[in-house]
Each structure stands twice: as structure tokens, then as C-alpha cells.
């Protein structure tokens, strides 16, 4: 049986990571190049002329004299952690397809749990903001899903204390998955799906769903709708038209169960965004860390109180 080239790609080994980002100076240089690929630009006046202070790693604009650091006005702003800790954290977050918990990040980096939690959720916020405005196109399989653990009472649709979300998979002409979108919704009602479709789907795409009535709302986003009534239980899982969305949900829930003990409902969207971000960039694992760093430098600061508000 032929090996899956995506599954068996080498990615970035720990030794390769340490060779490229093992020192504070290497991390600073990398961030500088990613933040200002064409040279320094003052965030206040736009001037390209600056000098670097010798006592601290600050750039001072020659025109307005603003002093700025490599992390100012980014998701890294006001951090007390060394840059190499951030880089190592980004390495662990990006290279494992099941993710890493804040507790495990604490142990691997040798930092406090609060610092590890802040780092983890800031990186998840970067992932969420990067993909939230990228709609799917072409052929799209969608399904309703819930997170919330095993509880007594009603299961599946209509279950209490569960977080509902829409799972969508974009496939190509060969019926292979290209991209996914995982979006928390307040419920599976026509109005909610209409709002979701207008943001998550490109006009003209073909949407395949089961018989849940609210999914008819995708036509309001100028999408074609192929509705397949397949009943419930095992029969719905075995429908070939929903193969990839069912596979996606199985992999997602397996990853969450194996990595996290629990997820608070208000943070569910961030954890879904983490899985979505890695999946959509799975074809080049080595590029994941530079790409995440590049986007993090363009994500506004988010202090802890904002992170906890979700």
C-alpha cells in the first residue's frame, strides 16, 4: 500500500528547530525579518529610517523618535517570556496534529501554568482570526455536531449543556478534502445557518447536507443545495456523500479527548480554530511555524482579561 505523502512528511524535527531558533538572537532576527520583510517601517509615522538602541532591543524612528520593540502592537506585546520560549511553544502547538494542552506546555517549557495558558490561548486566537474570514468554495459537505462530553439525558440534537457547531469540508473534483471550517453556532435554526452560510461559504458553491431543515438556508448565500435524507444512527454515518465530514468529526473528537481533559464552552471556538488551522495547512508542516509567527506579528495585542472573556 502506497504511503500517504501528507501523513508521512518529515515536518520540522526538534534538532532542526533548535538549529534555526535555538537562541534569543536567532528568534529576534527571524521576527524582525517576518515583521519588516522590506526593512523597518515606523508603526506611527511610516518612516523607514531608524536606529537601534544599544542598551535595549528597541528601534527608534529617526523622524518621530518613537521607540518600538519587535513585539510591540502584536500578540506578543508586553510578554515577559524570552522569545525562544515563545518559539518553542509555537513549535509544539504546530507540529502535533492533536495539539498540546496548557498543562503539557507548562511542563515542556518550564514556565508557570498561567503563562502557558496565556501563550496557548494567544496562539489559538491568532489561528482563529486568520481563518475566520476565509470562505469555502466548490463542493462542501456540512453536518451538525456537538461538543460537551458524555452526560445523562438526551443525546445528539437537542441535548442540553452541549456546544453546537457546524462542520464543513471543502472537497476537490477527486473528492479529496482541501479545507475545513468549524464554526460554533447558537443553535441549528434557519436564521443561524443563514448568517453562518453568508460568512463561511462562497457564492456558487454546492453544499451537501442531510435532511436537517435549517440547512436549506444555504441557498440564501447563493449556494446550490443538495439535500440527502438519510435517517439517523449508523446509516447516516455510512453515507458516502458524508464520508469526509464524518471522518473529520471523528478525528476532531479523538484529538480533543486525547489532549484535553475538558474545554469550557466559551473557549470551544478557539480549540476548533486550532484544529482547523493545522488541517488547512497540513501539506507543509515545516512552514507552519514561520506562517504562524508571521500572522502573530499582525494580530493586535490581547491581554489576559480579554482572553478570558473569549
On whether both 152 and 33 belong to a single domain, the answer is no
pLDDT value of residue 2? 63
All three cell numbers of 259, joined, read 489532549
What residues are paired with 209 via a beta bridge?
227
- Beta strand residue intervals within the chain, DSSP E: 50-52, 59-61, 67-68, 139-147, 163-171, 177-184, 206-209, 224-227
On whether both 191 and 242 belong to a single domain, the answer is yes
Task: Please provide the distance, in angstroms rounded to a whole number, between the alpha carbons at the two ends of the chain.
Answer: 45
Pairing of strands 67-68, 59-61: antiparallel
Taking only the tens place, the pLDDT of each residue in 276-292 is 999 999 999 999 999 99
Q: Are 212 and 144 in contact (CB under 8 A)?
A: yes
Report the alpha-carbon distance of residue 82 to residue 23 in Å, rounded.
10
Q: To 5 degrees, how large is the angle CA 178–CA 131–CA 150?
A: 80
Report the alpha-carbon distance of residue 151 to residue 289 in Å, rounded.
37
Is 252 domain-assigned? yes
Number of structural domains (the chain) is 2
Taking only the tens place, the pLDDT of each residue in 105-133 is 999 999 999 999 999 999 999 999 999 99
**Domain containing residue 174: CATH number:** 3.30.420
Tell whether the model's pLDDT for residue 4 goes beyond 60: yes
153-172 b/e (C-beta count within 10 Å ≥ 16 → b): eeeeeeeeebbbbbbbbbbe
On whether both 159 and 243 belong to a single domain, the answer is yes
Q: What's the average model confidence in pLDDT over 65-92?
A: 96
On whether both 41 and 112 belong to a single domain, the answer is yes
Residue 124 lies in domain: 14-131+286-309
Is 276 domain-assigned? no
On whether both 121 and 157 belong to a single domain, the answer is no
On whether both 158 and 222 belong to a single domain, the answer is yes
Tell whether the model's pLDDT for residue 63 goes beyond 90: yes
On whether both 79 and 28 belong to a single domain, the answer is yes
On whether both 62 and 118 belong to a single domain, the answer is yes
On whether both 127 and 147 belong to a single domain, the answer is no
Tell whether the model's pLDDT for residue 175 goes beyond 80: yes
Is 271 domain-assigned? no
pLDDT value of residue 308? 94
On whether both 143 and 261 belong to a single domain, the answer is yes
Q: Name residue, grid cell 506611527.
A: 44
Q: What's the average model confidence in pLDDT over 256-282?
A: 94
On whether both 210 and 169 belong to a single domain, the answer is yes
pLDDT value of residue 196? 97
Tell whether the model's pLDDT for residue 233 goes beyond 80: no
How does DSSP classify residue 281? T
Tell whether the model's pLDDT for residue 235 goes beyond 70: no
Is 272 domain-assigned? no
Q: Within 5-141, where are the H helices?
A: 14-21, 24-35, 83-95, 102-109, 113-131
pLDDT value of residue 239? 77
Return mean pLDDT, the chain: 92
Amino acid at each position: 500500500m502506497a504511503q500517504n505523502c501528507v501523513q508521512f512528511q518529515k515536518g520540522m524535527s526538534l534538532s532542526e528547530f533548535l538549529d534555526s531558533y535555538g537562541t534569543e538572537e536567532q528568534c529576534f532576527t527571524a521576527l524582525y525579518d517576518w515583521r519588516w520583510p522590506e526593512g523597518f517601517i515606523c508603526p506611527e509615522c511610516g518612516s523607514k529610517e531608524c536606529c537601534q538602541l544599544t542598551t535595549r532591543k528597541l528601534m527608534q524612528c529617526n523622524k518621530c523618535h518613537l521607540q518600538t520593540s519587535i513585539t510591540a502592537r502584536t500578540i506578543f506585546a508586553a510578554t515577559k517570556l524570552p522569545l525562544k520560549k515563545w518559539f518553542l511553544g509555537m513549535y509544539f502547538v504546530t507540529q502535533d496534529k492533536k495539539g498540546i494542552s496548557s498543562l503539557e506546555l507548562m511542563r515542556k517549557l518550564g514556565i508557570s501554568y498561567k503563562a502557558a495558558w496565556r501563550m496557548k490561548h494567544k496562539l489559538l486566537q491568532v489561528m482563529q482570526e486568520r481563518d475566520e474570514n476565509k470562505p469555502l468554495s466548490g463542493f462542501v459537505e456540512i453536518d451538525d455536531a456537538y461538543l460537551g462530553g458524555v452526560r445523562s439525558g438526551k443525546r445528539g440534537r437537542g441535548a442540553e449543556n452541549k456546544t453546537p457547531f457546524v462542520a464543513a469540508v471543502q472537497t476537490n473534483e477527486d473528492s479529496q478534502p482541501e479545507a475545513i471550517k468549524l464554526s460554533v453556532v447558537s443553535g441549528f435554526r434557519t436564521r443561524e445557518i443563514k448568517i453562518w452560510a453568508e460568512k463561511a461559504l462562497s457564492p456558487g458553491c454546492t453544499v451537501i447536507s442531510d435532511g436537517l431543515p435549517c440547512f436549506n438556508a444555504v441557498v440564501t448565500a447563493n449556494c446550490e443545495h443538495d439535500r440527502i435524507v438519510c435517517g439517523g444512527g449508523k446509516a447516516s454515518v455510512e453515507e458516502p456523500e458524508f464520508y469526509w465530514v464524518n471522518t473529520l468529526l471523528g478525528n476532531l473528537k479523538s484529538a480533543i479527548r486525547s489532549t484535553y481533559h475538558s474545554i469550557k464552552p466559551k473557549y470551544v471556538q478557539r480549540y476548533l480554530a486550532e484544529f482547523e488551522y493545522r488541517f488547512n495547512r497540513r501539506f507543509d508542516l515545516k512552514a507552519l511555524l514561520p506562517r504562524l509567527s508571521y500572522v502573530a506579528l499582525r494580530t493586535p495585542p490581547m491581554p489576559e482579561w480579554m482572553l478570558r472573556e473569549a
